Structure 1
Amino acid sequence: MRKIVIALSFFMLLTSCVSKKKYTDLEDRNKETQDLLNTCTVKLNSCLEDKSGLSATLAALRDQIQNLKLTNQDLISTSKDMTILSTKGAQNIEKALESIKEKDLKISRMQDALTKKDSVTLALVTSLKSAVGISDPDIEINVEKGVVFISIADKMLFKSGSYDVTDRAKGILAKVAKVVNDKPTFECMVEGHTDNVPYSGSGLLLDNWDLSVKRSTSIIRVLTNELKVNPAQLIAAGRSSYIPLVENNSAENRARNRRTRIVVLPKIDEFYEMIENEMKKQQQ
């Protein structure tokens, strides 16, 4: 900068005693010098910015190197610990594998027991269909969620709005009773179902809940009093109109929803006993 100031002073001194041509040349050189100064200033600022960025990068790299050194030390310590624990870890893995094998064996035994239960269920369905011997769309014998049930339309059991069992129904119930009597360890739940038309009869019944339960108990009385089924095997249940097969939007659909289901199932404790016996056989 000092040199530039001296040059400018010298230039001003000469302007009074030099020719116009020399003055112009000196002025052009001055402009070139000023442009060069500006360019150098810009480059200097850029270099200073680059230096600042590189300094920050260098600091970050030094931090990373320090972190890597610490991580390396941790890995060395961990590897030592793993060497110490390797024997114990192998023992734990062996125990875990043994536990898994035991669980797989239990699951296999449970599946065998369930297969036997399904076989019993299938045999029961076959027995019921053979005993009832009626091919009528108003009577269904089927399996639902592992449970055997007989569904009978109410038009075959009762008159409309009544809970008195018809004579025709007694003939059907006699065949059901024969199957139940042949399975003294099984239980039967008699479920009454109605449509959604409110009960309008007189007497002690208040609504469809009462009607559905009363129809269930009426069937149970026929099974026990007239057909000699053990009362301890029977369960009375009423579901009112709340589990319809179809929407109650037509006379035909409401007729389908008015039904009685006789659910036939082994006792739960006997089912568990079946599983236990199967597991004991597997252990022998």
Structure 2
Amino acid sequence: MVESITAFFEGLDPLYAALVATVFTWLMTAAGASMIFLVKDMKQSVLDTMLGFTGGVMVAASFWSLLAPAIDMSKDLSVPQWVPATVGFFVGAMFLYGMDKILPHLHINFPDTEKEGVKTSWESTALLVLAITLHNIPEGLAVGIAFGAIASDVQGAELGGAIALALGIGLQNFPEGTAVAVPLRRKGLTRLKSFWWGQMSAIVEPIAGVAGAAFVLSIRSIQPYALSFAAGAMIFVVIEEVIPETQRDKYTDLAALGFIGGFIIMMILDVSLG
């Protein structure tokens, strides 16, 4: 099966490959959000474990699929090998920091009094969706940039690694979709609306994926910076959003175990495929 997936992506235009991969991650979010039709509610312990799993996948992907290849790609550049990874990582984190301060949003498990970003009269349901949308931007960028780097035959960029990244992001998007739809349902939305807005939170991933691939294809030397940028953005999301969301209740140990599980699975995917 792995061979057939690899063969499929080998024959695709890089922009189309990025689109296919990120549509897959979007559909996994939709699949997770569809769980709202099967369950009346979900225990907070399960939701916290799911969020922990999401954080573990994102941290592992940030190193194994983004930072490590970026450092590898920097061997032939005219700057010290650590510079692209350092600069890209910092700029990516600062980019998300800026968006976090500007975009109005409300984290999962947070009360309405803890809204972030510019002040707005928008309802908390819209702010919840915006929070996950903000979360999904670096994920889409990461997948798109990974596929774009392969098309340029950059040393350190491997198709297996890009596929592993897409699989890992898709895998963690399933519980993430559930973790969005359930709180929306608790706030009074119908099951259909909870599903709709849950899956729509990930529509930004194909857009960011194609944009990321197009960007790195246009400037080859920027690719290690771009991979590190995506890593910095994802790590910022994990520390500022995902982990705090798992610490609001009494299930912090379960969230930590979920994080460990997600990290291990993403590490296995990247090492075995990349």
Shorter-chain TM-score range: under 0.3
- TM-score, reference length from structure 2: 0.24
Relative contact order, CA 8 A, sep 6+: which one is greater?
Answer: 2
- TM-score, reference length from structure 1: 0.24
